[in-house]
Structure 1
Amino acid sequence: MADVPAHARVVIIGGGVIGCSVAYHLTKLGWKDVVLLERKQLTSGTTWHAAGLIAQLRATKNMTKLAKYSQELYGNLEEETGVATGFKRCGSITVALTDERREEIYRQAAMARAFGVDVEEISPQEVLKRYEHLNIDGVKGAVYLDKDGQGDPANIALALAKGARQRGGRVIERTIVTGITKQGRRVTGVDWQQGEETGHITADMVVNCAGMWGHEVGRMAGVNVPLHACEHFYIVTEAILGLSQLPVLRVPDECAYYKEDAGKMLLGAFEPHAKPWAMEGIPKDFEFDQLPEDFDHFEPILEAAVSRMPMLAEAGIHTFFNGPESFTPDDAYHLGLAPEMDNVWVAAGFNSIGIQSAGGAGMALSQWMDAGEKPFDLGDVDISRMQPFQGNKTYLFERSKETLGLLYADHFPYRQKATARGVRRTPFHDHLLARGAVMGELAGWERANWIAREGQEREYRYSWKRQNFFENVAEEHRAIRTNVGMYDMSSFGKVRVEGRDAEAFMNYIGGGDYTVPNGKIVYTQFLNRRGGIEADVTVTRMSEFAYLVVTPAATRLADEAWMRRNIGNFNVVITDVTAGEGVLAVMGPQSRALLQAVSPNDFSNDVNPFGTAQEIEIGMGLARVHRVTYVGELGWEVYVSADQAGHVFETLMHAGQDFDLKLCGMHMMDTCRMEKGFRHFGHDITAEDHVLEAGLGFAVKTSKPDFMGREAVLEKKEAGLEMRLVQFKLTDPEPLLYHNEPVLRDGEIVGYLSSGAYGHTLGGAMGLGYVPCKGESAAELLASSYEIDVMGMRVKAEASLKPMYDPTSERVKM
């Protein structure tokens, strides 16, 4: 048995490809005392039976950056370590069998170009030239990526492990972690067992790379790692005479992928209804194990595959394989510092893309660990996006049935998960359902996304074109712009910061000035040391020693964790109070008149100007109104304790009959904020976007002596902007924008849209996107000609640095 040292700077738990990658990259950064503990043998969980597909293109820029890094790393790993990785750049083809899928993959191809990935749209006949065995009946189009490839998963992991050892890392097999010791918000060490021998290793930090055991290991460390194992099927044929190297082929409309391997053909499946595994826990002796065959489950995929690739009908099946892989609730992997602890890191839950992700994920995590801050935006996969309830095993069992199949499902805009729904409901949930609300889900919250008309079906009909709710949203949008609308904002996070140092703490953590009177609302950002945006919030001073921080629903936990991690010696208490109050947004030119009809309080500019809050009577109850807006109109957010929420809703709806009040949903809010140029956190503003380049310098008060990010803001002011966030509107009213569409300036790709939505008042699809501008004035930037690439077609666009709708905000302050 290998000797386990008494202490390590870091203990990595799990010897699959991701654990080996983290060890490799930490040692590459010069870390000493890196110890990896593997319960059985390296790769013996999921890595050994992975298909080994290595693709570059992912859904966002940074995920694509990580996938590109992986394939570049694997290309050089064999030379560095002497371990054959089997890595081949054989290319990949994805074919579309429907017009909707064709639009999806062509939009992806356009996005790929913006991200610097070589990609080619090809015709069915061109597919046949590259893949002569394919039946192209029904093929509508395809994309080809020549640098994609495949590799030997186990050997890639073993090469990474050898690279780590060569630089002094310890990789110790047959050593199971039996417990993790903790003190406050830090782990102090790991209990281990080798056969009959037991011991303890103290550690400065721990990385959970335990794959499908990640949930269980997380519980030991006091952190939530929501994932669940599912059965994953593929077959390998007997050797096929004359079969030579082929590109990896994906036929997502038939839930299938194909890979030539040593003269045999591998056919894998991502079936729409998956089979979760090991509800009672993974067997203790699990090692290189297969699960029982289930040919009935796989048969529909195989039938379609035999038709798609007729040579399979003649080929015998050499192997029918069923092995477990872990899946997360949203099909994105978990990476980063766990929000519950200050020295527990996670890299797990790779949703069948572990091989292509492991190189980049290991690189990004090790840089984050080394520098103490993210190397770039990792919000897509940051573990802090997961809500505490998502660790519930019943929830994970139900959701995992769907998430495996979603990998190859159509990735339509606004697509909602169908399983494990209804967990978090606002106090207005039933009231909204009774009036036609069609619900979406975000961070577990059921939210009214749009309101169906009487007699209209209450469900999504997905498309890349105008979806069935397009006109509903347009009507809601018009009500907000011309009259009055109301929508539920209860899901937004609410965090109280209280204590004798509350003011000093807020002035340190945020870029705004919080030395304000009680009732004043400050729109602000929390900045990192580089001036990047960690959180985008509104802060209301409730009293001398208390503030209410309102956050986006999806980032409430991350924003709270950011505050806790930076609390230092400030004497404050931080409390999540999200569920305690319901919030109704009453917005539009008639919002003041409606509120005056239900409350004796004064809503005039003299008493309640923009950016202030006041306690009010409403109906027979009490509430607090915040005069702010995310839609660019006069309006108030009405905060009411959960017990009185139903009464306040009914009071407003009843009085609203005299004003033609319209119930609205979240999609409307997005279309209105897009016209006003309001930023959306996670898309338009992230940890790597400088607050000044995002156009939010007005919210940062550098006259304050000491706050996080101050030096970076002053440096950027001195050096000048390198990028600017620009608002665009297509001149053709027909095409639609979502996000990631390439931005062309004078015919050259210079960036991509960070978000997009339809501007129903301005009459065209709109988007926000960063454009390089080093050494240029605003006038020079706007003097150019701009186009947006929509599915390979260039569409002219107007560009503006000021909001195209109500640029002076007169309507907000009327």
Structure 2
Amino acid sequence: MGSESLPSRADTVIIGAGAVGCSVAYHLSELGAEDIVVIDQGPLPVTGGSSVHAPGIMFQTSPSKIQTKTAYYTSRLLSEAGVYHEVGGIEVARSEERMDFLRRRVEWATAYGLPEPQLLSPEEVVEHLPLVDESQILGGYYSPTDGRVDGIAALQWYMEHADAAFHGNTEVTDLDVEGGEINGVVTDRGRIDCERCVMATNNWGYQTGQLAGIDLPIAPVEHQYVVTEPLAELADAGSSVGENTTGLEVPGDRAIQEYMSEAPHQPVGRDQDNSLYFRTHGDAIGLGSYNHETLSVDPDAMGKNSEDRQASVRGFTPEHWHKPTHRGREKSPKQAFDELLPATADAEYEATENGIFVFTPDGMPAIGETRAVDGLWSALAIWWTHSGGYGRILAEWMENGVPRLPSGPVDTGGIHVRRFEPHAGEKGYFVDRGAKRYEQVYSIVEPRWQPSSHRGLRTSPFYEKQRELGAEFYQSGGWESPQWYESNADLVSRYEGMIPEQDGWQGINRSPIEGAEHLHTREHVSMFDMTSFSSISVTGAGSTDFLQRVCSNDIDVDVGRVRYSLLLDEGGGILADVTVVRLAEEEYMVTTGGGNSPGIHGGWLEEHAPETVSVHVEEGAKSTIGLWGPKSRLLLQRCTDADVSNEGFPYFRAKRMYVGEVPVIALRVSYVGELGWELWAPAEYGRRLWETLWEAGDDLDVRPMGGGALSSMRLEKGYRLWGADIDTDANPFEAGLPFAVDMDTDFIGKEALEAARADGIENRITPITVDDSTDILLTGRPVCDGEETLGYVQAANYGYSIGESIAYTYVPSEYAEAGTSLQVHCEGEVYDATVRDEPLFDPGRNKLIR
């Protein structure tokens, strides 16, 4: 613990002494960091944040690998600390749809390495949870290592074991940012100069970001929790209520903290069909509810502790407990609990609260160094369940440049604070999206689900034409991107027999038109809207040397050449895959994907560029068409005077040219494995670019093509997708991309790759095809050799050209040999599958280079 006087400087200042801030401080000190100061506006350890009003329940299983991995790490860490009660966790099902979902739970847990996940019969559930009415349920999912963390005890443990100074009752009033760098933290007790600062303020995350001029999309939301009076059925458990917080300064209602400090003696439970959860508190039981309309809190109005109020707790609202206000729920929380746990029906409540916690627009955490301010790190939107793991990841990232857990590097694309699109910081937007994520916490979310609100934010110049063609728009990074076009429905009958039906869960939100567009592109020519993809302009003296340093491949090539390369972190993990185009001696265009790519990849280039090099992320500045298919050359030649023959415009070359009147940078590259070009034009020319190609290709049967066809075509060719097949948790050798690495050049991550190659590559990515089924497999499902889990499905689709269902997975190297037999567990079925050589389609690249 720190002294009462506040230091005038520190290497690292962490704002927030809750679960996340304490975890970051502990892990930083474990890694050898020194001079760490942690400050909080509340008293210590009962700060008044969500870490101390939360019931501490930890359910570890998630569809997300990183959420599951961080939860398991947290449970192990806190168990060793003696502040975690591993009583197990049971999720019950009251519907067949929920039982199907619980089977998915087992598959996710198996895929990501949780111990002994299992389905229970109603009788087995009641053996663990005797208060449950067996007649109300169809079964349950049991994770034996789930449990509950004692929040106050855990914070005390962190403070005792972290080599850091902790200061409570210290309010941050400003962040000193100058020249794009953090210089100090200003508090009501003085200023602390610092080299780096971590924002771990969760419910106050938006306000903390505002002090640095950053709009962080962190939306606070209320949800309800009550603790019953002692129940006769739990009398044997006893109680220590009244003694749990003796000697501690407790803001607000002390009864809440007293009951939250009572340990459970039965498994923690969830009734997701009614958006409810529960746990015992000694001889009482706590009941938690998401089963009410979203109660969003103005991020600017979080407030502070007082004698009568804990800052992150609002007054209990009985109407939300007694009336069904949650969309799609017919029963109120009270009614649903009375049915499931009859012993609670007539019980009085000893403690009640509307506790506050936060959501981002996509429901995932926001961690990493901010793009706008060097040295300012985010550790926000993280629950107790994952706090230990994310604290470790962030500490490794800050100290060693590699986000990792003890099990290895982790994928950061879905959690990076830089992933948010430009509009995400608008308060109305992120509060609404956060509210939707609150609604979905216990919902069964369909594959490829799409939001209905805040649509049409970002559209390409082709949008109106696409609407006329019946585009089914999916949203990514705010962009409206067609998944398929109803105007191509006639193609389904043309390719009848080559497009198998997809039934059940795998077939939801899919269309056979996706397969028809795939097959049409292989035979004719299609136009794909790439406007959501981004180009990054790199110019100025030293541009070549700079890109040579950050790119894994040799990019010092002739003007007009195109290189596929990777951006690696210091650990050799794949931060991005990019296309680098040399337009002049010191002028380059770097292209990357859409969604979270501009912020993460563009930000990486910006922060590493020397003063002489200009890096400009041209997000939304260009409208781009992928023109692909065997007739693409014939179509393009009709629209330009430039020579687009194979001799005049070879594969992986670039030209400045005109398509009609439209100036474009044309790249002869193809993400679908067909002859074709990417045509990059200034956004204002986009409409004319589309019209020119469309009219010229009328007699060639040119068609629009959506993202569904792109997905299946790229898997047939084995082309990687960052955030799916590759990320910072894989190096290029594991990812099958050694051709994108030139070890004769010096680049960030090279030393790590040399070490990895010397140690031997333990895991490799490989395609597998399903032996006797045309079903499309789903991501996150376990890939096995008998009883042994080897990996999980990274990406999957149906390969319409090869007539087989495809999945990509990382497996131990000894299993990556073509012909190896494996099994995939998906939706309760076990599919036999076979490892294949890649690419599965056109291995000789004859279609690309003709």
TM norm structure 1: 0.92
Contact 1:229 1:277 in 2 (8 A): yes
CA distance in 2, matches of 1:95, 1:657: 57
In structure 2, C-alpha distance between the alignment counterparts of 1:99 and 1:495, rounded to whole Å:
49
The match for 1:231 among 222, 225, 229 is 222
Which one of the candidate residues 458, 462, 473 is aligned to 1:424?
Answer: 458
Using the alignment, how far apart are the partners of 2:36 and 2:42 within structure 1?
19
1:239-278: CA deviations, max 9, x gaps? 2211363322222222111222222222222247412112
The 1-side partners of 2:139 and 2:463 are apart by 43
2:662 and 2:103 map into 1 onto residues whose CA distance is 54
Q: Which amino acid aligns with 1:355?
A: W
The aligned counterpart of 1:128 is 126
Q: 1:16 aligns with which of 15, 18, 25?
A: 18
State how far apart, in whole Å, the 2-side matches of 1:202 and 1:468 are.
53
| CA 122–724 in structure 1, closer or farther in 2 if over 3 Å, else same | same
1:365-404 per-residue CA deviation (whole Å, 9 max, x = no partner) reads: 1222222332222413221212332111121122122011
Distance 2:129 2:700 in 1: 63
Cα separation, partners in 2 of 1:768 and 1:570, compared to 1, 3 Å: farther
Unaligned runs of 5+ in 2: 238-264, 325-331, 491-501
Return the letter of the residue paired with 1:467. Answer: I
The equivalent of 1:602 in structure 2 is 643
**Equivalent residues of 1:212, 1:227 under 8 A apart:** yes
Which SS does the other structure have where 2:514 is aligned?
Answer: helix
Counterpart for residue 550 of structure 2: 509
- How has the CA–CA distance of structure 1 residues 49 and 771 changed in structure 2, closer, same or farther, with 3 Å as cutoff? same
Give 2:316's aligned residue: 293
Equivalences for 1:203-352 in 2 at 5 Å?
203-243=194-234, 245-271=265-291, 273-278=293-298, 280-285=300-305, 288-289=310-311, 290-298=313-321, 299-300=323-324, 301-302=332-333, 303-350=335-382
Q: Deviations over 1:430-487 (max 9, x none)?
A: 222222112222222222222235999xxxx996231253312111111222222222
1:739 to 779, 782, 797: 779
Deviation larger for 482-491 or 645-654: 645-654
1:126-163 deviation line (CA, Å, top 9, x unaligned): 32333333345574543210111013323322322232
1:280 to partner: Cα distance: 4.6
8 Å contact kept, 2:489–2:513? no
Confirm or deny: 8 A CA contact 1:746 1:785 kept in the other structure. no
**In structure 1, the residue corresponding to 2:848 is in which secondary structure?**
coil
Cα 1:729/1:188, change in 2 over 3 Å: same
1:804 maps to 2:847: no
Post-superposition Cα deviations, 1:689-731, rounded to whole Å, max 9, x if no partner, equal 1211211111212233x22233344444455432221101111
TM-superposition CA deviations, 1:723-744 (whole Å, max 9, x none): 2211011112243312122222
What is the distance in 1 between the residues matched to 2:351 and 2:503? 37
Match status 1:61 vs 2:95: no
* 1:407-441 deviation line (CA, Å, top 9, x unaligned): 21213221223333332222222222222112222
Question: Is 1:473 aligned to 2:510, yes or no?
Answer: no
Is the CA contact (8 Å cut-off) linking 1:70 and 1:358 kept in structure 2? yes
Q: 2:192 aligns with which of 201, 206, 210?
A: 201
Of residues 145, 148, 164 in structure 1, which corresponds to 2:143?
A: 145
**From 363, 376, 379, the counterpart of 2:392:** 363
Instruction: Indicate conservation of the 8 Å contact 2:206/2:300, yes or no.
Output: no
The alignment status of 1:177 with 2:172, answered yes or no, reads yes
| 1: CA distance, partners of 2:629 / 2:98 | 39
- 1:114 corresponds, among 78, 100, 111, to 111
Q: Once the 2 structures are TM-superposed, how far is the Cα of residue 801 of structure 1 from its aligned partner? A: 3.2
Deviation at 1:746, TM superposition (A): 6.0
Task: Show the counterpart of 1:82.
Answer: none
Residue pair 2:370, 2:378 contacting (<8 A) in 1 also = yes
Task: Specify whether residues 292 and 710 from structure 1 end up closer, same or farther in structure 2 by C-alpha distance, changes over 3 A only.
Answer: closer
CA distance in 1, matches of 2:522, 2:147: 51
Aligned to 1:729: 769
Matched AA of 2:468 = A
C-alpha RMSD over aligned residues:
2.4
Over 3 Å counting, the alpha-carbon distance change for 1:504 and 1:279 in structure 2 is closer
Letter in 1 for 2:86: R
Confirm whether residue 537 of structure 1 aligns to residue 578 of structure 2: yes
How far apart are 1:761 and its partner, in Å? 2.3
Q: 1:377 aligns to what?
A: 410
> Is the 8 Å Cα contact of residues 415 and 462 (structure 1) preserved in structure 2?
no
1:756 aligns with 2:796: yes
Q: Distance in 2 between matches of 1:346 and 1:20?
A: 14
**Pick aligned residue for 1:450 from 479, 484, 487:** 484
The one-character-per-residue Cα deviations of 1:36-73 (angstroms, maximum 9, x if unpaired) are 11112243022221121112223333332221111112
Return closer, same or farther for 1:153/1:453 CA change in 2, 3 Å cut-off.
farther
Percent identical:
30
Counterpart-to-counterpart distance in 2, 1:582 and 1:200 = 48
Match of 1:81?
Answer: none
In the alignment of these two chains, the number of paired residues is 787
Secondary structure of the 1:359 match is helix
Matched letter for residue 442 of structure 1? S
1:279: how far off? 5.1
Secondary structure of 1:464's partner? helix
1:615 equivalent in alignment to 2:613: no
Distance in 2 between the 1:133 and 1:462 partners? Answer: 38
- In the TM superposition, what is the alpha-carbon distance from 1:202 to its structure 2 partner? 0.8
Tell me, in whole angstroms, the C-alpha distance in 1 between the residues paired with 2:704 and 2:267. Answer: 51
Q: Residue in 1 aligned with 2:38?
A: 36
How far apart, in 2, do the equivalents of 1:763 and 1:327 lie?
A: 42
Q: Which amino acid aligns with 1:188?
A: N
Q: Distance in 1 between matches of 2:672 and 2:147?
A: 46
Q: Residue in 1 aligned with 2:470?
A: 436
Partner of residue 690, structure 2:
649
Counterpart-to-counterpart distance in 2, 1:790 and 1:717: 34
Q: Within the alignment, does 1:637 sit opposite 2:678 as a pair?
A: yes
Q: Deviations over 1:113-133 (max 9, x none)?
A: 232212112233432333333
Q: How far does residue 783 in structure 1 lie from its aligned partner after superposition? A: 4.8
Q: SS where residue 473 of structure 1 aligns?
A: helix
Contact 1:611-1:628 within 8 A present in 2 as well? yes
CA distance, structure 2, for counterparts of residue 137 and residue 666 of structure 1: 46
Offset at 1:810? 1.3
Whether the aligned pair in 1 keeps the contact of 2:24 and 2:392 (CA below 8 Å) is yes
Q: How does 1:698-713 map to 2 (within 5 A)?
A: 698-704=739-745, 706-713=746-753
Match of 1:392 among 403, 412, 426: 426
Preserved contact between residue 226 and residue 328 of structure 1 (Cα < 8 Å)? yes
Q: What is the SS of the residue equivalent to 2:205?
A: helix
Normalised TM-score (structure 2): 0.88
Cα 1:715–1:366 change in 2 (3 A) is closer
> How many Å separate the matches in 1 of 2:58 and 2:612?
50
Residue 610 of structure 1 contacts residue 813 of structure 1 at CA under 8 Å; is this kept in 2?
A: yes
Distance 1:783 1:737 in 2: 19
Q: 2-side partners of 1:230 and 1:798: how far apart?
A: 47
The answer to whether the 8 A contact 2:199-2:380 is kept is yes
Name the CA distance, whole Å, in 1 between partners of 2:776 and 2:119.
20
- Local SS of the residue matching 1:624: strand
Gaps in structure 1 of 5+ consecutive residues: 79-84
Q: Which amino acid letter does the alignment assign opposite residue 561 of structure 1? A: G
